[in-house]
Amino acid sequence: MAQYRISGYKRPKNTKKTLLHLLSYLGHHKWLFLLVGFLVCVSTGANLLGTYLLKPVINRFILPGDLKGLLEAVCGMGVMYLCGALATLGYSQLMIKSAQTVVQEIRSDLFAHVQKLPLSYFDGHTHGELMSRFTNDVDTVQEAMNNSFAMIIQSFLTLTGTVVMMMVLSIRLSLIVIVFLAFMFAFIRFNGSRSRKYFRRQQEELGRINGFVEEMMAGQKVEKVFNHEKKDFENFCILNENLRRESTNALAYTGMQVPTVVSLSYLNYAVSACAGGLFALAGLMDLGSLASYLVYVRQSAMPLNQFTQQVNLLMTALAGAERIFDLMEAEPEEDEGDVTLCYVKEENGKLTESAERTGLFAWKAAEDTLIPLKGDVRFHDVVFGYVPEKKVLNGISLYAKPGQKIAFVGSTGAGKTTIINLVNRFYEIQSGTITYDGIDIRRIRKDDLRHSLAMVIQETHLFTGTIADNIRYGKLDATDEEVREAARIANADSFIRRLPDGYDTMLYGDGGNLSQGQRQLLAIARAAVARPPVLILDEATSSVDTRTERLIEKGMDAIMEGRTVFVIAHRLSTVRNSKAIMVLERGEIIERGDHESLLEQKGRYYQLYTGQFELE
């Protein structure tokens, strides 16, 4: 059984760097955050001052029996508390607005950066790991910004102000409170360290059980075919029990903190009240000061508890922010190209650039020279390996002239798909050159290079949306008629029309309501609507029957007339009409030629075609 691990949130490795990066986002809204800080100070100050005013109200108005003065004092305190309440309402609303704006900016920058990363980065990181940056990590930062920023300021000011005011009222009694606060702080630190350890274990067990359930849901057919339900349930019960145990331990410690702190605060209040009463009887303290002091004692524990919890939450948020910023700092895909793709029109036998769509394209070099886009692709002694120590292609040389259909056959791992990936510049070659219409592809901007290509791969991916939207993905401004024409070419029109909503049928879950063959037909239609000069088919018809495959080939031949096609196929029947067939083995081309000439050679292709040798 596979093991699923989530490391849990720990303190960031570089707190200062992460905090500075996060503050750079907050700096975009610095005046708003300064206003939040000011309102927090107003709210806290109103609370602290209101408590202190109990002293003059009791001493000057209640004890002497000054009813008029008492009424004026109460009204004044009411206005002050109202200002504090309005300040609290104001900063809470502003904090939510500013926090959501900052998180939106972080999420947008993260998504934009991920789109710029090379495919090699995704090869080395799982989808779940990357998705956790957008979900768990961003949510943690959002939660901390919604609550922790204002709460930390308020708790710190309240705790500091409370201790200062108690010292002003009575230094002797304050020593009692300080001792109790020290005990509370020590307990909170100890309890927090223990609970964090168990919560980290809980996260690990939660990651395991989530991964196991996800795997079982995706593999329901396999599970049922091999009657593995009982064993899988036993494994699930083990994981579930581990999660229950760690969750119980984690919640036991967190559930202990509030009652313990409350009990200590009550004990603190009782001791302070008794000592204060004795001081008042001895004439060492007036009644008003004692009343104010005891209110401060009651509220002293809460800010300490809040401050400690919010600091821990902030540390967790910074750990999540560090993971986000680490991803943002990953090196984006390099693009040093200076050759772009542009629309052109032909006047008197000369090409000129056009601002309107003409259907004709040309490469525009830095010196403003225009080279017609034809689809001439050539490899010259290309050496490549996904890792430096292991070569996948060893000195590959080949050419595909405009209008030619070039096929690659060979065993798994021979390098067929790698060649296709290099044409798109998904990866960079170690040595040699690849030219496109005589231009080194490293000189062509990647967006323009890929705009001139269309690719249909075996692992079809459809997006949430209508069937028409998925076909139009190949050409965003395609008209409805162009979409339908592409579907007819791909032989998808007939099954689409039989659906209840036709081209407006909604697709969800990667097109799960369609068969694999139907999904592949839509992928081919998506490539057909783009009408690119170069089309790449990587096992594109592996999920359709031979009759449909022949119809698709006829349609593709019609739209690709005068253009270049690269085909990778295990069915040799699909490559018979190719202009050239390349037989690859261990990163080298061991045979090349058309179907007839390769059969005459009676080499590896002949063995494959006659069944004397099978692809592995």
Percentage of the residues of the chain whose pLDDT score is greater than 70: 91
Span of 22-26, 58-62, 76-80, 580-584 with lowest mean pLDDT: 58-62
Is 522 inside a domain boundary? yes
Q: Determine the angle formed by the axes of helices 67-114 and 30-52, rounding to 10 degrees.
A: 150
The predicted structure's pLDDT at residue 586: 84
Look at residue 203 in the predicted model and tell me its pLDDT: 64
Is residue 8 scored above 50 in pLDDT? no
pLDDT at residue 355 greater than cutoff 90? no
As a whole number of angstroms, the distance between CA 406 and CA 593 comes to 10
Question: 235 and 91 share a domain?
Answer: yes
CB 392 within 8 A of CB 385: yes
pTM equals 0.70
Of the candidate ranges 142-146, 269-273, 313-317, the one whose mean pLDDT is the lowest? 313-317
- Between the alpha carbon of residue 476 and those of residues 207, 264, 354, the distances in Å are 39, 66, 20
The three state secondary structure string of 410-446 is: ECCCCCHHHHHHHHCCCCCCCEEEEEECCEEHHHECH
Please enumerate in sequence order all residues whose Cβ is within 8 A of that of 298, keeping only pairs 6 or more positions apart, or say none.
265, 269
Confidence of residue 3 (pLDDT cuts 50, 70, 90): very low
Boundaries of domain holding 85: 15-328
Contacts of residue 397, defined as CB under 8 A and 6 or more positions apart, other chains included, come to 379, 380, 381, 382, 589
Q: How many helices (H) and strands (E) does the chain have?
A: 20, 16
For residues 250 and 201, is the Cβ–Cβ distance under 8 A? yes
Residue 393 in domain: no
Owner of token pair 């083995």: 585
Strand locations in 309-360 (E): 340-347, 350-353
Instruction: Considering only residues 541 and 594, tell me which one the structure prediction assigns the higher pLDDT.
Output: 594
Q: How confident is the model at residue 440 (pLDDT cuts 50, 70, 90)?
A: very high
> 567-615, pLDDT tens digit by residue?
887 777 777 778 888 888 888 888 888 888 888 888 888 887 776 555 4
Query: Which has the closest alpha carbon to 463: 396, 373, 554, 526?
Result: 526
pLDDT tens, position by position, 99-113: 888 889 998 999 988
pLDDT of residue 380: 93
Instruction: Classify residue 242: in a domain, yes or no.
Output: yes
Residue 96 included in any domain: yes
Domain limit, last residue, from 279, 299, 328: 328
Q: What is the pLDDT of residue 483?
A: 92
Residue 576 CA to residue 574 CA, distance in Å, equals 6
Q: Quick one: average pLDDT of 461-479?
A: 87
How far is it, in rounded angstroms, from Cα 1 to Cα 234?
Answer: 12
pLDDT mean over 345-370: 81
Confidence class of residue 291 from pLDDT cuts 50, 70 and 90? confident
Taking CA atoms, 249 is separated from 198, 200, 241, 294, 473, in Å, by 6, 11, 12, 36, 51
Cα distance between residue 544 and residue 458, in whole Å: 11
| Count of domains observed in the chain | 2
The amino acid present at 492, given as its one-letter code, is A
Q: Are 103 and 143 in contact (CB under 8 A)?
A: no
CATH of the domain at 190: 1.20.1560.10
**CATH code of the domain containing 588:** 3.40.50.300
Nearest-angstrom CA–CA distance, 369 and 449: 17
Lowest pLDDT segment from 204-213, 378-387, 439-448, 512-521: 204-213
User: Domain boundary at 328, 355, 372, which?
Assistant: 328
Span 15-37, mean pLDDT?
A: 84
Neighbours of 328 (CB within 10 A): 16
Residue that has been written with the tokens 């109460």 in this structure: 74
| Structural contact between residues 418 and 392, judged by C-beta atoms closer than 8 angstroms | yes
Q: Is it the case that residue 433 has pLDDT exceeding 90?
A: yes
Q: Does residue 318 register a pLDDT over 70?
A: yes
- pLDDT for the residue 613: 52
pLDDT for 1 equals 39
Instruction: Name the average pLDDT for the chain.
Output: 81
pLDDT tens across 150-209, in order?
Answer: 788 888 888 888 888 888 888 888 888 788 878 877 887 777 677 767 766 776 677 678
Least confident of 4-8, 197-201, 297-301, 603-607: 4-8
Neighbours of 91 (CB within 10 A): 24
Segment holding 395, helix H or strand E: strand 393-400
Average pLDDT over residues 85-111: 88
Same domain, 323 and 457: no
Q: How confident is the model at residue 279 (pLDDT cuts 50, 70, 90)?
A: confident
Rounded to 10 deg, the angle between the 480-489 and 546-559 helix axes is 130
Confidence of residue 362 (pLDDT cuts 50, 70, 90): confident
Q: Which of 114-118, 214-218, 431-435, 444-448 has the highest mean pLDDT?
A: 431-435
* Other Cβ atoms closer than 10 A to 455: 23
CA dihedral 517, 523, 525, 527 (to 10 degrees): -150
Domain contains 431: no
Q: Which of 297, 328, 359 is the last residue of a domain?
A: 328
> Shortest CA distance to 361 belongs to which of 383, 338, 345?
345
Domain assignment of residue 358, yes or no:
no
Mean pLDDT to the nearest integer, 68-89 = 85
Full strand arrangement of the beta sheet holding 377-384: 393-400, 377-384, 431-436, 439-440
Give the orientation angle of helix 15-26 with respect to helix 287-328, to 10 degrees: 100
Task: Report if residue 220 sits inside a domain.
Answer: yes
- Predicted confidence at residue 616, as pLDDT, reads 45
pLDDT digits 0-9 by tens, 481-540? 999 998 988 888 889 999 888 999 998 767 777 887 788 888 888 888 888 888 888 877
pLDDT at residue 432, rounded to an integer: 92
Instruction: Answer yes or no: is 423 within a domain.
Output: no
User: Which residues face 409 on adjacent strands?
Assistant: 583
Which pLDDT band, with edges at 50, 70 and 90, does 4 fall under? very low
| Whether residue 466 sits in one domain with residue 318 | no
Residue 502 to residues 296, 482, 483, 518, 521: CA-CA distances in angstroms? 71, 15, 12, 13, 15
Instruction: Report phi then psi at 126, rounded to 5.
Output: -75, 155
